[in-house]
Structure 1
Amino acid sequence: MSGSAASAAPDSRPGRRGEAGHADPLASAREICLHQLAARPRSRAELAAVMRRRGVEEDVAERVLDRLVEVGLVDDEAFAAAFVSSARAGRGLGRRALAVELRRRGVEPEVSEAALASVEVEDEEETARALVARRLRAMGGLPEPVRVRRLVALLTRKGYPLDLVMRVVTEAVPATDGEDCDPDQLSG
């Protein structure tokens, strides 16, 4: 087969437009979604975005998504709850970062709020303390101000509120001169 003949052949990857085996747009859209869901759970908005990128007509995408919701393969409430649990345990994210991630994945605000309601203040503080303790073990040779600055930056990036960050870091890295941490000095 010549190079030009090979490039003119239809794309045979599942769910791609032009595939000879999927003349039915619903079957093609369903295949795209099932392939995405096989990799990891996804929100309805994530699946809609993938189908949009693949050129699936909006009405076809809506029909497929409605059916997947109906049979329980797509459930934004369950997705949000599982995501919150997993991201807290695996990545140590605080409530603010979790909310941002859920919003980025297209989860509706009220669904996000319900999932985030399961994160207790005590749980968030415990996770922050564990992150700080783990990171401190690798910072043994650094001067105290550098350790404090890096820990504050870590927890802030992970979405913890500043009052919690300051309390946890101050307790974990007590000031050598007896003074409390000054948040204004930590931004540099």
Structure 2
Amino acid sequence: MASRSARKLTAYENQPGGRITSISAQKKKISRVNISIDGEYAFSVHVDVLLSENLIAGQSLSEDQIQKICSADDYHLARDLALHFVSYRPRSIQEVKRRLQKANYNISTIDRVITRLLELNMLDDESFASEFIGGRIRNKGYGPRRLKQDLRQKGIHESVIDKTLSEAFAELDPEAMALSAGKKIFPRLSRIPDAHTRRKKLSDYLARRGFEFDHMIHAIDALELYVQNLNS
């Protein structure tokens, strides 16, 4: 039998089919049952798979039937993992794919799970991007470049990034945001006597926060003017 991802194969699963001799509930995972074939433990499945495949003791299974049953169970395992993963916070499609890949599920199983979550409206990259941008602006004050970079890392398509960023910044002033970000560290930087060094450190900080050059210059000039007025 061909090897499958995510499931630990028993010695039996590499052998031809046989007759189900017992079906017993697992003690720790009540949603799963153990299947024994020809008197030996063969594999476990979710109870939903047991019912959907109409598995009963005494039933004979071919190798292909066992493969089909175990593939169906892999889908259940992957789906439950994905549902748990998205329950903590919104996720991008690519984040869910990466999580399932990390758990060694195969591509066809992952695609089935993604399709199902999309059908349930539990995945939506545009909504995810909008929420992500809003949260990063509110909590961290990030500028457009940093937000675009972070969304790319989340696997969001470029067109979705551009659309959601445009909508988010339609009523925001990046220059004012850069100035606000600069004010947070400027009390420390203002103690640096050399203006060039001070401006360089502030510029580097605002660049890491994701602001464009023109927006940074406005903030730096405004803060430098403040220092000059203090020292005059």
Give the total of aligned pairs.
163
Q: Which segments of 5 or more consecutive residues in structure 2 lack a partner in the other structure? A: 1-9, 11-27, 30-42, 47-69
- What is residue 89 of structure 1 aligned with on the other side? 138
The AA in structure 2 aligned to 1:86 is G
Query: CA offset at residue 94 of structure 1?
Result: 1.1
Structure 1 distance, partners of 2:198, 2:146, is: 22
**Unaligned stretches of 5+ in structure 1?**
1-9, 14-18, 177-188
Q: Distance in 2 between matches of 1:51 and 1:165?
A: 40
TM-score normalised by structure 2 residue count: 0.63
Rounded to whole Å, the distance in 2 between the matches of 1:20 and 1:170 is: 67
Q: Which of the residues 93, 98, 112 maps onto 1:63?
A: 112
1:26 aligns with 2:75: yes
Does the 8 A contact of 1:139 with 1:147 survive in 2?
Answer: yes
For residue 133 of structure 1, the aligned residue among 170, 176, 183 is 183
Q: Is the 8 A contact 2:75 2:109 kept in 1?
A: yes
Comparing 30-39 with 118-127, greater Cα deviation is found at 118-127
CA distance in 2, matches of 1:47, 1:159: 26
Give me the whole-angstrom Cα distance separating, in 2, the residues matched to 1:173 and 1:20: 68
Structure 1 residues 82, 122: CA separation in 2 closer, same or farther (over 3 Å shift)? closer
When the two structures are superposed, what TM-score results if normalisation uses the length of structure 1? 0.77
CA radius of gyration, larger in: 2
Corresponding position of 2:58: none
The match for 1:147 among 186, 192, 198 is 198
Corresponding residue SS for 2:98:
helix
Q: Determine the C-alpha separation between the residues in 2 that align with 1:152 and 1:121.
A: 24
For 1:60 and 1:92, how far apart are their aligned partners in 2? 39
The aligned counterpart of 2:35 is none
1:42 aligned counterpart, secondary structure: coil
Q: Point out 4+ residue stretches in structure 1 off by more than 4 angstroms.
A: 19-23
Aligned counterpart, 1:40: 89
More strand by share: 2
Structure 1 residue 35: Cα displacement? 2.0
Compare relative contact order (CA 8 Å, sep 6+) and give the higher one, 1 or 2.
Answer: 1
1:107 partnered with 2:156: yes
In structure 2, which of residues 202, 205, 209 is the aligned counterpart of residue 158 of structure 1? 209
